[in-house]
Amino acid sequence: MSHAYGWEKKLRKTDEFSSVFRFRCSYRGERLVVLAAPNGLEHPRLGLIVPKKIIPTAVGRNRIKRLLREGFRLHQEHIAGLDVIARLQSAGDEPQLRQDFLRGLEACKACVDRRQRPENTTG
């Protein structure tokens, strides 16, 4: 799998974001909320929400998005087939954001796997 972060790996449409919110697999860290849902594709996709209320400058918002995209890019082989949304809840230091994001990816992957596992039926 390529480590690139191209056009096909970005969530863009409202419906794509809505389907992830509806699936309700999430992880709440100190500074970040990570949500995930299966997407039926061979590759993962990422959507970012970095509110202007929390980070007022464009430079600051872009830096956080760059940090999160890099974490996604380096760990995308572990989350193939998922749509992931990272929503910033509060400003904080970059190592904490990175840690919240990576923990969120692991937790959401486990949640999606549990929910997609077929029920064990014993006749």
- Could you read off the pLDDT of 16-72 as tens digits, one per residue? 899 999 998 999 999 999 999 999 888 899 999 999 999 999 999 999 999 999 999
Q: Give the pLDDT score at 76.
A: 87
Mean per-residue pLDDT over the chain, rounded: 88
pLDDT at res. 118: 72
Residue ranges of domains in the chain: 7-114
Pairing, β 25-28 against β 45-49:
unpaired
Give the pLDDT of residue 123.
46
Give the pLDDT confidence score for residue 119 in this predicted structure: 62
pLDDT more than 90, % of the chain:
65
pLDDT-derived band at 122 (thresholds 50, 70, 90) equals low
Q: Does domain 7-114 have CATH number 3.30.230.10?
A: yes
pTM of the entire predicted model:
0.87
